[in-house]
Amino acid sequence: MSVIETSRLYPNFFKEVVSKACTLSSRDNFYQCLSCGMCSAGCPYNGVHDHADPRKFIRMLTLGMREEVLNSTFIWACTQCGRCTMDCPMGVEVLTLVRTVRGNFGLRAPGFLQDVVDAQIRTGNQMEVTNEEYLETLEWMEEELQTEVGDPNAKIPIDKEGADFLFLWDPREIKYYPQDIQSIAKIMWYVGANWTCSSRWWDATHYALFNGNDEESRIITQRYADEVKRLKVKELVVTECGHATHANKWGLKVWLSPEDGNYPVKSIIEKYVEWFEAGLLKVDKTKNPEPITFHDPCNTVRKQGLVNEPRYVLNKTVMEFREMWPNGKYNYCCGGGGGLLAMGKDIYPYRMAKGKLKADQIKATGCKLVACPCHNCFDQLTDIFKYYEMDCKPIHLHHLISHALILEEKP
Amino acid sequence: MPSINVNGVEIEIDEDGFIVDPDQWNEDVAKYFAQVEGINELTDDHWKVINYLRDYYKQFQIAPMIRKLCKETGCSLKYIYELFPTGPAKGACKLAGLPKPTGCV
């Protein structure tokens, strides 16, 4: 039995955390905790591994157990998936408290999470791709696309002023998976999108969402606000990446001034829906005959409410879509969210323990293919499949669309 | 920290199976990783890619862009995937003994 020593408590600690929290919610809500435990019931990992009890975390905060909170494993093992927060009847944003503690009390994240943020601040992207390498890769994929579709007008526009939207990439696509660039550009070409990439700031990802450093978040977000202005585009569109979708949609409201943060941000999934509805996307479902399930990235689905959009796309694109359970906003995190994928060996056992839930969910569907519109979840799923020896494969929505396009019917 | 034993030498690997110290790499390590990544036999083309990655990493302490890798080795992207089914990042770089790149790969 451990003892709480009142002499070691910091009565103002919780107030300090709340005052530093970056949120759209009312600060009063943070004080409404009833200790009912709905959060702990909502956390999928409570009972799966140690250090997964949000109610304890909140109790420690409210009691002023500063040292215990700052040294806790909980704050790093939490994927900030938001399921506890969704279930809280009083609107206590537990995930916000986790982020605030991570980033405002001089802690350094485990693993290489901070290195990733440092690289993005310093070089403009988390993988330190130089400008020349980036532009060369886009040009290369443009040539490949032109050969693939036999149209010299298939372009990957850069710095096109007045385009309808500015498109942000995940640096994984640029650095390690250039075929993704071709796949996405093929869809843009097919629907005749008036789009542009930026030559300056193009990395959609945002790991400062996970280290909790608002100053770094502000710097990163401001870059895109400036690019939207410079290129005079109507909206910002983010590639298939969960946390990038959330950080760009939510972030402009919390990190930018109202004058700067006033542009629409969409996930490319929303654009797929628009293009389908406008009759611009014509796909042959029989090209995707295998049964496929869908993993809901928490940041896109639970936090940004894009529940129906990916399902609409799948139903248009594949022959047999099977839901896993639970799904939609009740989904389980892949286990690699909240920056855990960048937290190295100490957090790895938690990541794999969490992954067991996802592995079981997928197994129950009998599907070998898992649609996943998020690079982070994509990697975690790959790791899970290896770890639990499953003969499964994640696939992005754009892959399913781009290889099923009916070229003869291009609008 | 997990490790692998290649010819009696303990070699430290990270949680994703990447080598921790690139200086511990040798050809037998590549052959060991090949097995893990589902590659039956390492052909001349495999070695061409592996050696290019090693040389580049030695010089710049970072993995090259895939564009460069394809250009310098004369392999198309498709062919790289045929050689290394898990792809250039998780496959080729691992065999070449590069540490796991930071950032989400």
Are the beta carbons of A22 and A218 closer than 8 angstroms? no
Nearest residue in A to B38, CA atom: A386
Tell me the nearest-neighbour CA distance from A360 into chain B, angstroms.
21
Give CA–CA dist A305/A324, Å, rounded.
18
What does pTM read for this prediction?
0.96
CB contact, 8 Å: A387 with chain B? no
Q: What is the third-level CATH fold of B3-95? A: Arc Repressor Mutant, subunit A (1.10.10)
Domains and CATH numbers, chain A: 8-104 (1.10.1060.10), 113-273 (no CATH), 281-409 (3.40.50.1860)
Question: Contact A172/B104, CB-based, under 8 Å?
Answer: yes
Nearest residue in B to A174, CA atom: B65
Return the closest-CA partner of residue A95 out of A49, A35, A34, A39.
Answer: A39
Residue B104 annotated to the active site = yes
Give CA–CA dist A327/A242, Å, rounded.
16
Alpha helices in B20-76 (DSSP H): 27-36, 44-60, 66-73
CB contact, 8 Å: A183 with chain B? no
Tell me the nearest-neighbour CA distance from A8 into chain B, angstroms.
35
Mean pLDDT for the stretch of residues B58-76 = 94
Are the beta carbons of A76 and A20 closer than 8 angstroms? no
Tell me the torsion sign for CA atoms B13, A335, A372, A227.
negative
Are the beta carbons of A227 and A166 closer than 8 angstroms? yes
Please report the ipTM that was assigned to this predicted complex.
Answer: 0.90
Beta pairing class for B3-6 and B9-12? antiparallel
pLDDT higher than threshold 80 for residue B102: no
Among B65, B75, B94, which would you mutate to test the A interface (most chain A Cβ atoms within 10 Å of its Cβ)?
B65
Tell me the pLDDT tens digit for each residue of A161-218.
Answer: 999 999 999 999 999 999 999 999 999 999 999 999 999 999 999 999 999 999 999 9
pLDDT of residue B104: 57
pLDDT of residue B1: 67
Q: Model confidence at B101, in pLDDT bands (50, 70, 90)? A: confident
Nearest to A345 among B14, B102, B103 (CB): B14
